[in-house]
Structure formats: C-alpha cells, structure tokens
A and B are shown apart, each in its own frame.
Chain A
C-alpha cells in the first residue's frame, strides 16, 4: 500500500491518533493499577509483620511486668551493678541517640565489675518468646534486648545457641542492635515531647527493613509503665501474600484495540468528513477510558478488601495465640490484649482497620476504598486529558507538521537538544514542580507521595500573606515577631536600599577620584580596590563573621583600643544589621566602582574642554556631562545590584545567620530555613514563589520606569 503525501487522509490520522491516545491512557492506567496492587500486597506483608511484632510486644510487656507488685522486670537486679550512664534515671535521648561509644564503655565498665547473678528474671519472657516462636513458623527469629545491663534477654536466633545462648550481655559486634534500640527509645521520647507541645510525631518509632529475600526485619520498643526498657527485634520469612500480581493484559488489550477497530469500521462509512471523524474518535476514547477505569477501580477495590480481610484474619490469629499464652503464663490480673493497637504506622499511631476484638472495621475499609476511588478518578482525569491532547494533535495533523518541521530542521534541533534537555529536566520542570509544591503541605516525610494527595490549595499563601501580627504582646510587653513575613520583607527592602546606596555612593566617589587626570599610582589603587570583588563572597562572609566575634574579633579589639566597650554584635537587631551591612558594603562597592570607572573613561575629554570654554563650573560639568554619560552603564548595574542584594544569601546566612532570633533574616534565607531546617517543603515553596512574584513585579516596574524616563529624556 502506497503512502500518498497529498492529500492527507483524515481517516488514517484519526485511527492512528485514537490508537496512540488509548495506548497512552490504557497503558499508563495499567501500569498505575499494577503498581498500586503491588504496593498493596507489599504493604500487607509489612503490616502483617508489624502486627506480629506488636502482638509479641504486648505479650512480653504483660509477662515481663505482671500486675502483682513484685518487681521482676528485665534485668532489674543488674541496675545495682551498673554504675554507668545507663542508670541515670531519665535516659537522655541525645546521649545515646547517635549510638556513639556508649556500649563499648559500658561493656568495659561491666567487665571489671561483678558477674551477673544467675537469678532468672527474664525466664518468663524467654518462655513466652519460645512458645510464641513455636506457634509462628513464619518467624525466622525473635530477639529481645533489655537496655538495663545491655542484655540479650531472649533469642530464638539459630546463632544464639550454646555459649551465645540468651540471656547474656550483648557483644561488641552487636553494638548496632543496641544502637537501634536506643534510637527507637530516643524517637519515642522526642515524639512525646513534640506531641505534648502540640506537634505531630516526626521520628519513626518502629524500624522496618525489608530483607533481600522479601522478608522483613522489624524492631519496636518494650515499655514498662511508660518507660522504654527494651526492644523486640523480629525477622520474618518472605510472605507469599506479597508476591506482585501479574498485569491484567487481556482487559487492557480489549480496552485499547476494541475502540480502534470500531473507529476503523465506522470510518469506512464516514469517509473523509473530519468533524464527524473527530467526534467519533472522541466518543470512543472517552468510552474506552471510562470502561477501563471502571474495571480498574473494581479490581483495586477487590484487592483492598482482600488484603484488609487477610490482615484482620492475621490479627485475629495473633490474638488467639498470644491470648492463650498470656492465660497460661500470667494466670490472673493481666490486662487483656488490644489488637486495635497492633496495626499501626511507623509512629505507632493505629490505622484503625482492626477493632479491639480483632475483627475488620468495615466502615474504615469503606472509607479507604472511597479514598482510593477518588485518587484513581483524579489520575484517570489527568490521563484522559493528556490522551485527548494527543488525539487532537495527531488527528488534526499537528503531528504530521511537527514531524515535517523536525525533519526539515533536524540539524538545528540536534544542536539545541542537549542543552535544552538539561534545562528542561533541571530548570523548567523543577520550576513547575515547585509551583505545584507550593499548593501542598509536602514535607521531608511525605515527599514521595503524589502531589495530589497533599493538596492544600492556597493555604500556604494565605498563612504567609494574611498574618499581619508583626508586633504582638508578650508577658514582658510588646515584642516584634521576627518570623513574620512582613517583618522579613521590610527588613529585606531596607537591607537592599541601604546596600545599593552605599555601593553606588562609594563606587561612584572612588571612580570619580580614580578618573582624576594626572593622579599618581592610579593602576595600583584600582587593582587593590577591585580585590573585594575577586574574593569569593562566602570567604568574605566567614572572615567578617570572625571579625565581628564578641571576644576575639578584631573589630571589638579596635573599639577597646579607642576606649569603647566591646559589643555583642549579633545579640541586637541594630548591631547585627551593622555587621551584615559592613560585610556586604565591603564586597559590593568594587563592582559599582569598576562599572562607573569604565563609563567615565569612555567620556570624550573634549566635551569637558568645550564646557570649560563656555565657562561651565565643575558642578555644571558634572551635572550636564558626567551624570548623563554614566547613566547607561550605571542604571543596569544598579538594577542588577538590587536583585543580587535582595537575594544575597551568603552574607546573611554566614555572617548573622538571622540572629538575633531571625531579626536579620532576609526572605531567601528564611525560605531556606523553612525548607532545610524545618523541612516544610510545601510552605517553603510557597514562600519562594512569593519572592519570585516580588522580583517579577520589580522587574516589570523597573522596565516601565526606565521606558518612561527614556521617553521623557527624548
């Protein structure tokens, strides 16, 4: 079959267009569906493991500290032997959180001390663990660590037999196990403080690691009356339920090819009528995608129900085994087990899918299914839009002419492609991604979720711009709220104006002096005065930060030389401002000087000669000749310098770091702090967008203004 170039076949274009559009829609849809199902099953496996861990922990906590008042806890009697930091009553999280040298030192201290007495405090715990492991063939190993005495209290690990059998002290090589426990303890304690302060927890209280074979290694802490006293670490065998599903090719193929075949048939009857063809293709596209998405939704819902009931069944089974063990080991008075606290997220917040009776909460499940449906519908809507664009592009001949274009200018595009690809991936895409981020509450912990799940609309912008509480009352009277956007913005403006004024004034004066005819040593002065511009500005900033040091800085030494008191420069907004202003003044006047000097030297000297002949005074010469000739060079330099100074990150960040209390923060350092010290990516993106809009407004205004002055000048 020949492919005639003229006239174009609308029929063929629409059939190809529909095929491509549906391929895009159905293909991506199928990939999303498969990914979601895989994730669901994977999550089931990890949640089952967490449930097992929590059930075991619940059991151990009850067995280890029975309601009867006798203290028979994990290695309690060891406390008397251990004189190390371990004993200090409220365990300081920071001390052990990094997992530094704690264990080694303590082991050494213990080694020299008395040997453990052979009382069996953890016998009940060991018994419970052994019995629990027997009931769970899918558990590879269980290890229980007590912090007091750094003991391995119980273990079913094949390696921990013979001389290494529990109970024993942890060995040096097992420091990472101990450190993990301390990390979890620190996380729990830190989270408690955060929650008490009204925040939401940020540290993971359950550590979950997927092993290379598909099993999980999960650790959680053991508590006694609210104190974290130990850790349970389990390894599970690969869970058969976690096997990824096979993609459902057949329905996808049908959804792709059936509408295409139908359009091809219809096209025989329609002929080359473009509008009718377009309408038919549109209908078939919508129909195909709609059908496919309904089917996908059904599959996903079934998957969700299936995994949820599996999870509930798992929790129920745990409740039975653990309950039987508990009844056996602690015959009286133990609090009942609570399965609703077993299915938890990494912050130990219950997901509420399993009830206290160990059954499935249908209402919660329905809620999750509805959430899924909403999410899927949004994705399909976006996909459908893209597919529609593709259909129109191919159907109406856009693709053909674009292809024509590409072929014709392929050399040019080949040259531009590498740079353009880099710019698109690392500049334009990130820009639009940031714009999207600014409408979300993305932070470091949820950055992997799709943007649509975190959408908060204009909330960030509203929070930034509608907070006018620059000054607020405190118990000690009125105080400025330095974190407020308008304070920072105001400071940023003052900072910019002051700096540019200093830079222009100094630069211009120096340039005028250096332009004096017959002045000796001019080249030497010029080179020396350019130096500040040549020094990298982060080095300048760090030096000046040192020079303004309260005790050792030379500036305070100079003040003392002339009999003044040393100043704590960064303790007060005004002095801190002086410090950053001095630094920026030092590093920015050279640029203005070089620019002005260049412009001054290009003024022909006969202009001045002529003015002198006409009897003009020096001031008149300056006003009529020098200033107008400086303007073309100075105006763009000032515009540039305003933008540079407005965004002068390094000086503020390295010299004052916003001290005191964020008073000398400028917008861009504040945005950085929000993003990389508080990890509020979404909010920081909105903050940065505001900065961008301010600069954009300045750019437009400046453009207008310079055009207006030009118009007046002409």
Chain B
C-alpha cells in the first residue's frame, strides 16, 4: 500500500470504510457476548441514570460488561431446561443428517448411473418442489403430521420434514459429483462379481466422500438452524429445539436476555465454524443450481 503510481487511489479511505463496516458488522455480535458475560438478564449494557451525561451514555453503548461473569452459562444449563433443548436439537439434526445422506446419496446414484423411465421427471420434480412456498406446505404438513398422524411434538415428525426439505438440494449436488466418478471402476467390480449394493457402499460412496461431507453438513445445518417449523410443531416445552428455546427466553413478555445471549453463543458458535468452512461449496452449489434452473 506504500507503492503509489499515477492514478492509483490512496488506500486510507478504503481502510476507513472497511473499518466502519467491520464495526457495524461485529457490533451486534459483541453485544451478544457482552450480555452473555454480564451475569444479568438486562438488555442494556449499563444502567443510565435519569440525567445522564455523555460519559454514562457512552458507557451504555460500549460493548463490554460492567462485571464479567460466566453465571449466565452455568444457570443456562443448571436452572434452565436449555441442556434438554440443545439435546433435542442434536438428536434431530443428527437423525436428519443420517437419513438425509442415505436418501440423497441412493437417489442421486440412481439418477447419475441408470437410465430409466421417469428419470428426467423425477429430477425435475425435485427442482420444482423447491418453489413451493414454506407456509403453504406448513399448513398441509401441520394437518397431516399433527392432526392425522399424531406426530406433533415428536422427534420423528420434525426429522422427516427437515430431511425432505434438504433432499432436493442434496440430490442435485451429489448427482453432480457422482457424474464425475468414472463408471469403469464399477464395471470392473461388476465383472469381478461384486453385487450392486457392494459397489455402491464399498466403491462409490468412499470415492464420493467430499460430496457426502458437504451433504451431511448441509442437512445438519438445515435442521440445526430451522426455527419456524420447530416453533409450529413442538408445542411441549420439553420438546423445544434450541432455536425455539432461545426465542422462548426473549419472546412475548419474557425478557431473559442473559440466557438468550449465552444460549445463542452455545448454539451458534459450532454452526458458524462449520459454515465458514462450507460457504465456498454452498456458493458454487447455489449459483450453479440457479444457472441451470
């Protein structure tokens, strides 16, 4: 940035703008950290006296707690049922991941390797399903799953819904990957007397490890971050998932911001780390899908 030849703009205004944007970006995150470590339930960082001076007001927006304490995290797990909610989320997201990967990889393999009547229609129907609006499906699913099947407030109801939500994207992505694996490997295995199932599980799936990983992460994140279906289908407090539980802390007349902030950190950190690893695959997958569609 010290090199300056003719026509180059100086870098300091760029840095100024970037720093401004970074402050705007990380301020809400710092605020959550501040409230989480404040040890209290208040939404404000500091109490502002009735006739406050500029110093008091500045203190109230500075994202650093007055007393640093981890008591919010401790009581979140001991006094509040958050451990249970987090456990629900882990169970549901894990089940969704396994079911999603299994269903998506088998279907994608067939779409990639076999030519059969209905193949094109099947692939297209998966794409079209992505256009159905969420609430439209939610009403019908609510009647079917809760009122007909009686699966409201159960793990299986939510797992099934999350899995089918993730399937189309996962199928398309895995099909794309399977297409790149040469067919000769399987043909030679077939000649050696391997069964179809053996070829799929012992040869193709191990070769497609990266795609399986991305599919798994995508399924996991779909289930982990979902709010509205869980809020609609889980009516019993002990069956809440973490997102519904977080909303429970600060929704309606409840104002337990300390628990919310601590819970958000516990819930979001793992998924944010996963996301930062995954985002480049997601971008290429999304835009590639959009270009094709």
Residues of A within 8 A of B (CB): 405, 409, 411-413, 415-416, 418-420, 422-423, 426-431, 433-434, 437, 442, 447-448, 506, 509-510, 513-514, 516, 518-520, 525, 527-540, 542-547, 549, 552-554, 557-558, 560-561, 586, 594-595, 598, 618, 632-633, 636-637, 639-640, 647, 649-650, 653-654, 668, 671-672, 675-676, 681, 684-685, 688-689, 691-692, 695-696, 699
Q: Is the beta-carbon distance between B24 and A696 smaller than 8 angstroms? A: no
In the complex, 23 of the A-B residue pairs with CB atoms within 8 angstroms, ordered by the A residue number, are A418-B106, A419-B107, A422-B167, A423-B126, A428-B125, A430-B137, A437-B140, A506-B21, A519-B11, A535-B272, A537-B225, A538-B225, A538-B243, A538-B247, A543-B264, A544-B28, A546-B250, A554-B60, A560-B52, A561-B58, A649-B134, A688-B135, A692-B136
CA distance A689 to B131 in the complex (A): 11
Q: Is the beta-carbon distance between A640 and B290 smaller than 8 angstroms? A: yes
Q: Is the beta-carbon distance between B1 and A595 smaller than 8 angstroms? A: no
DSSP class of B's interface residues: helix, strand, loop or mixed?
Answer: helix
- By a CB distance below 8 angstroms, the chain A residues around B228 are 649-650, 653, 672
B227 within 8 A of A: yes
Q: Is the beta-carbon distance between B7 and A530 smaller than 8 angstroms? A: no
Residues of B within 8 A of A (CB): 1, 3, 7, 11, 14-15, 17-18, 21-22, 24-26, 28-29, 31-32, 42-45, 48, 52, 54, 57-58, 60-61, 102-104, 106-107, 109-111, 113-114, 116-117, 119, 122, 125-126, 129, 131-144, 147, 160-161, 163-164, 167-168, 171, 196, 200, 224-225, 227-228, 232, 243, 246-247, 250, 257, 260, 264, 267-268, 271-272, 275-276, 279-280, 283, 286-287, 290-291
CB distance from A698 to the nearest CB of B (A): 10
Q: Is the beta-carbon distance between A695 and B29 smaller than 8 angstroms? A: no
Given A538-B243, A538-B246, A557-B60, A528 and B26 contact (CB-CB distance below 8 Å)? yes
8 cross-chain pairs, A with B, having the tightest CB-CB distances, nearest first: A688-B136, A636-B290, A415-B110, A412-B114, A419-B107, A430-B140, A409-B116, A552-B43
Q: Which of A535, A560, A691 contacts B136 (CB 8 A)?
A: A691
- By a CB distance below 8 angstroms, the chain B residues around A429 are 144
Q: Is the beta-carbon distance between A527 and B276 smaller than 8 angstroms? A: yes
- By a CB distance below 8 angstroms, the chain A residues around B32 are 539, 543
Given A430-B141, A530-B276, A538-B227, A415 and B133 contact (CB-CB distance below 8 Å)? no
- By a CB distance below 8 angstroms, the chain B residues around A534 are 271-272, 275-276, 279
- By a CB distance below 8 angstroms, the chain B residues around A448 are 147
CB distance from A595 to the nearest CB of B (A): 6
Chain B CB within 10 A, most for which of A415, A423, A653: A415
- By a CB distance below 8 angstroms, the chain B residues around A544 are 28
CA distance A347 to B176 in the complex (A): 58
Q: Is the beta-carbon distance between A416 and B131 smaller than 8 angstroms? A: no
- By a CB distance below 8 angstroms, the chain A residues around B287 are 595, 633, 636-637, 640
Q: Which of A418, A423, A536, A696 contacts B102 (CB 8 A)?
A: A418
CB distance from A703 to the nearest CB of B (A): 9
CA distance A403 to B26 in the complex (A): 61
Q: Is the beta-carbon distance between A688 and B103 smaller than 8 angstroms? A: no
- By a CB distance below 8 angstroms, the chain A residues around B119 are 412
CA distance A442 to B148 in the complex (A): 14
Residue of A nearest to B168 (CB): A423
- By a CB distance below 8 angstroms, the chain A residues around B141 are 426, 430
CB distance from A663 to the nearest CB of B (A): 19
Q: Is the beta-carbon distance between A547 and B31 smaller than 8 angstroms? A: yes
Q: Is the beta-carbon distance between B275 and A549 smaller than 8 angstroms? A: no
CA distance A233 to B133 in the complex (A): 47
Q: Is the beta-carbon distance between B57 and A561 smaller than 8 angstroms? A: yes
CA distance A602 to B279 in the complex (A): 17
Residue of B nearest to A671 (CB): B135
- By a CB distance below 8 angstroms, the chain B residues around A546 are 43, 250, 257
CA distance A586 to B243 in the complex (A): 20
Q: Is the beta-carbon distance between A423 and B131 smaller than 8 angstroms? A: no
Q: Is the beta-carbon distance between B25 and A632 smaller than 8 angstroms? A: no
Q: Is the beta-carbon distance between A433 and B144 smaller than 8 angstroms? A: yes
Q: Is the beta-carbon distance between A654 and B107 smaller than 8 angstroms? A: no
- By a CB distance below 8 angstroms, the chain B residues around A640 are 286-287, 290
CA distance A653 to B257 in the complex (A): 18
Q: Is the beta-carbon distance between B133 and A692 smaller than 8 angstroms? A: yes
Contacts A448-B147, A672-B135 known; 20 new A-B pairs at CB < 8 A: A411-B114, A416-B107, A418-B102, A419-B103, A422-B163, A422-B167, A513-B17, A513-B18, A516-B14, A519-B15, A527-B276, A536-B267, A539-B267, A539-B268, A543-B31, A546-B250, A618-B7, A650-B228, A672-B228, A688-B139
Q: Which of A431, A558, A672 contacts B140 (CB 8 A)?
A: A431
Q: Is the beta-carbon distance between A434 and B107 smaller than 8 angstroms? A: no
CA distance A695 to B293 in the complex (A): 14
CA distance A259 to B31 in the complex (A): 78
Q: Is the beta-carbon distance between A437 and B139 smaller than 8 angstroms? A: yes
Residue of A nearest to B106 (CB): A415
Chain A CB within 10 A, most for which of B113, B132, B135, B271: B135
Q: Is the beta-carbon distance between A420 and B122 smaller than 8 angstroms? A: yes
- By a CB distance below 8 angstroms, the chain B residues around A668 are 133-135
- By a CB distance below 8 angstroms, the chain B residues around A427 are 129, 132, 137, 164
CB distance from B98 to the nearest CB of A (A): 13
CB distance from B245 to the nearest CB of A (A): 11
Q: Is the beta-carbon distance between A416 and B42 smaller than 8 angstroms? A: no
CA distance A536 to B223 in the complex (A): 12
Q: Is the beta-carbon distance between A696 and B131 smaller than 8 angstroms? A: yes
Residue of A nearest to B148 (CB): A448
- By a CB distance below 8 angstroms, the chain A residues around B135 are 649, 668, 671-672, 675, 684, 688, 691
Residue of A nearest to B14 (CB): A513
- By a CB distance below 8 angstroms, the chain A residues around B54 are 561
Q: Is the beta-carbon distance between B250 and A542 smaller than 8 angstroms? A: yes
Residue of B nearest to A632 (CB): B291
CB distance from A419 to the nearest CB of B (A): 4
Given A419-B107, A533-B279, A542 and B290 contact (CB-CB distance below 8 Å)? no
Q: Is the beta-carbon distance between A536 and B140 smaller than 8 angstroms? A: no
Q: Which of A529, A539, A689, A691 contacts B25 (CB 8 A)?
A: A529
Q: Is the beta-carbon distance between B3 and A518 smaller than 8 angstroms? A: yes
- By a CB distance below 8 angstroms, the chain A residues around B21 are 506, 510, 529
Q: Is the beta-carbon distance between B225 and A536 smaller than 8 angstroms? A: yes
Given A531-B25, A561-B61, A695 and B275 contact (CB-CB distance below 8 Å)? no
Q: Is the beta-carbon distance between B110 and A412 smaller than 8 angstroms? A: yes
Q: Which of B103, B143, B257, B291 contacts A422 (CB 8 A)?
A: B103
Q: Is the beta-carbon distance between B279 and A530 smaller than 8 angstroms? A: yes
- By a CB distance below 8 angstroms, the chain B residues around A639 are 290
Q: Is the beta-carbon distance between B103 and A675 smaller than 8 angstroms? A: no
Q: Is the beta-carbon distance between B42 and A552 smaller than 8 angstroms? A: yes
Q: Is the beta-carbon distance between B125 and A676 smaller than 8 angstroms? A: no
Given A518-B3, A636-B290, A554 and B126 contact (CB-CB distance below 8 Å)? no
Residue of B nearest to A527 (CB): B276
Chain A CB within 10 A, most for which of B126, B136, B168: B136
Q: Is the beta-carbon distance between A647 and B133 smaller than 8 angstroms? A: yes
Given A448-B147, A636-B287, A557 and B227 contact (CB-CB distance below 8 Å)? no
- By a CB distance below 8 angstroms, the chain A residues around B171 are 419
